[in-house]
Amino acid sequence: MSSEQNFTAAFAKKPHIEKHELRERIEAKLVTRGIVNPKDAGDEAIYHATTHAIKDIMLEYRGDFKKRIKASGAKKIYYLCMEFLVGRSLKNAAVNLGIYDELSAVLLDFGTSFERVYACERDPGLGNGGLGRLAACFMDSLTAKDYAANGYSLLYETGLFKQKIIDGEQVELPDKWLVSGGSWLVPHPEQSVIIRLGGKIEEKWENGELKIYNYEYDELKAVPYDLLIPGTETNAVNKIRLWRAKAAQNPVRDFNSMAQGSYLKSINESNNAEIVTKQLYPKDDYDEGKLLRLTQQYFLVSASLQSIISDYFADHGSLAGFEDNVSIHINDTHPALCIPELMRLLMDIYSYSWDDAWSVVVKTVSYTNHTVLPEALECWRVDLFSMKLPRIYNIVTEINRRFTADLWNMYPGDWDRISKMAIVAYNQVRMANLSVVGSHTVNGVSKLHSDILKRTIFHDFYKMTPWKFTNVTNGVVHRRWLNTANPRLAALLDELIGSEFREEASNLIKLEQFADNDEVLSKIASIKRFNKESFAYYAYSKTGKRIDPSSIFDVQIKRMHEYKRQLLNVIKIIALYNEIVENPNSSIPPQTFIFGCKAAPGYVMAKKLIKLIWFLAEELASNPLTRDRLKIVFME
């Protein structure tokens, strides 16, 4: 953290909220719902009243935080990602705001408990995997460290899907979380922006300037909803801005238009528009699905950049110094279209020259890569790309022309190298290459990963611009994944090394002194046993399967995919099974294998692997030699 931000943080301690004030805030929200006595309210009503009361607190803090950031002139960070796996917000917000104990006491006074009220919250379907969880952890950490940082993503009406396993078959059910799970969102319809798609492009020289005209296009309205992210020790509150797609025009202008049949047309237009943010990661194994995914990505970056530029104008009155005061980070290639879109806005709207616009873009954008597999790098067919985004395609091809011309000067005649590094080649637009060329910094998510990028898929780029490549090791927010998720262990750490680790994880190094302390190790083992017993009870309530808490838990939770190695795990279990059957007296200890994974609806092989796991679980349970030594539990 910079000395400037330390300076601002010193004057940003948030006031402590007493129990009576918190109670009054929640009671006021209940009154607006027609409930005078909190003990007459159900858990659902109390949950919604609590979320609205906490939102009010965060909005008050955010107002003060924005004034403080503006006065300090601190640089603003904008983090673009197609998903944020934020998880449920109530406990995280209460802990970060320092009101968890007070809230728990208030809810007991109301005749309920924190856990009962917390159970009313739906897990928002805004993310699915590690990419989205990394983004959520970054937003939490940046806010805790007092940085001005806003995330940008889409407000998906339904998540990936709700999973049910029936006789080994994955069945996908709609995850309509937003119907009752949108209490934390703060709508800002007055800040909506318009997105243009498709159409035709015409270039004209007028008064010595190139003018771009777009006609016969489709329009969408992007409506923003903010999810607030509170800090810990300071009053910092950042936001994740989520864009929801709506029809750009008013559905029905007057009764006459209804009578003329425009009503049905407008309803159809509205439905078509809302499809864009209907679902997280729609199927893209056909052209319509690919076009929808491409539309989602452009919708995200265009709406976000318009918002970022609007905020900058509000603070500075012009775009002067934009690249010095704004940092835009793209998490994987899904938001890579922000590179040509920022070029478009600067040139077509604000009359920047190409060179000036490109200088701003490269100085502003940075990129995190998430895969080292060449076949997993995102590409778009030229025909689809140019049809949906004609102006963006023009800009991308010009970026490619200039870049490959530079490559030709550096490596004359080396067609193989140039074709591999090109952004547009072999009828494809390569988003990873675009991300590297259009950013000032590229990183992997671990040292090994970053080294592999430099040695393999981005080797030629690394040789050309080695200063671009760095590493930012993936991490998790320990406030959530240690303090909140494992309160008994966190309480023991308080006794052993003090509570400073709760805010600053580097203090955990102090635990090394207890590495050989039998008493401490025994206490840790007892906590671990308690947690395993708690999970065994939970798993039984969900699956009907009993788990031996004394067994070794082997847990693999991630998206079901061939490269995620669930099949290797299954082969290991089969090997253990064969060994026990052949030698019942072998020394293999009891083991419980816990799988949690969703297969993409169109991914046939991944679904077969789920079925294999299910049938193997049935075989282990039915064989008297293995039923008490090997168990598989699949958590939907």
Distance separating alpha carbons of residues 337 and 434, to the nearest angstrom: 9
pLDDT digits (tens, 9 = 90+) for 139-157: 999 999 999 999 999 999 9
Cβ(130)–Cβ(558) below 8 Å: yes
Distance separating alpha carbons of residues 516 and 518, to the nearest angstrom: 6
The pLDDT of residue 8 is 45
Question: What is Dmax (Cα atoms) for the chain?
Answer: 90
Mean pLDDT of the chain: 92
Distance separating alpha carbons of residues 610 and 597, to the nearest angstrom: 8
Structure tokens at 315: 């603070």
State how far Cα 346 lies from the chain centre: 28
Structure tokens at 97: 């705001």
State how far Cα 81 lies from the chain centre: 6
H-run or E-run covering 85: none
- Measured over the CA atoms of residue 453, residue 455, residue 461 and residue 462, the dihedral's sign is positive
Q: Strands 365-368 and 441-444: what pairing?
A: parallel
- Which stretches within 422-565 are classed as H helix? 431-437, 447-455, 459-464, 478, 487-497, 518-543
The pLDDT of residue 610 is 97
The pLDDT of residue 266 is 54
Q: Which residues of 58-90 are buried (b: 16+ CB within 10 A; e: fewer)?
A: beebbeebeebbeebebbbbbbbbbbbbbbbbb
Look-up: residue for tokens 């026990």? Answer: 580
Cβ(135)–Cβ(370) below 8 Å: no
Q: Angle formed by the axes of helices 100-109 and 43-72, to 10°?
A: 150
Distance separating alpha carbons of residues 89 and 22, to the nearest angstrom: 17
pLDDT digits (tens, 9 = 90+) for 200-259: 999 888 887 788 888 899 999 999 999 999 999 889 999 999 999 999 875 444 445 555
H-run or E-run covering 389: none
Cβ(238)–Cβ(186) below 8 Å: no
Structure tokens at 552: 């070794």
Structure tokens at 234: 């300071």
Which residues, other chains included, contact 324 with Cβ-Cβ below 8 Å and sequence gap of 6+?
75, 363
Cβ(536)–Cβ(590) below 8 Å: no
According to DSSP, residue 59 is labeled: H
Q: Which residues of 218-231 are buried (b: 16+ CB within 10 A; e: fewer)?
A: eebbbbbbbbbbbb
Q: Angle formed by the axes of helices 487-497 and 518-543, to 10°?
A: 170
The pLDDT of residue 578 is 97
Q: CA separation (Å) from 100 to 104, 161, 228?
A: 6, 31, 17
Q: What ranges do the domains of the chain cover? A: 551-636
The pLDDT of residue 1 is 39
Q: Is the pTM of this model over 0.85?
A: yes
Distance separating alpha carbons of residues 149 and 155, to the nearest angstrom: 19
Half-sphere exposure of 469 (CA within 13 A, CB side): 21
Distance separating alpha carbons of residues 100 and 85, to the nearest angstrom: 22
Tell me which residues of the chain have a pLDDT lower than 70. Answer: 1-12, 250-271
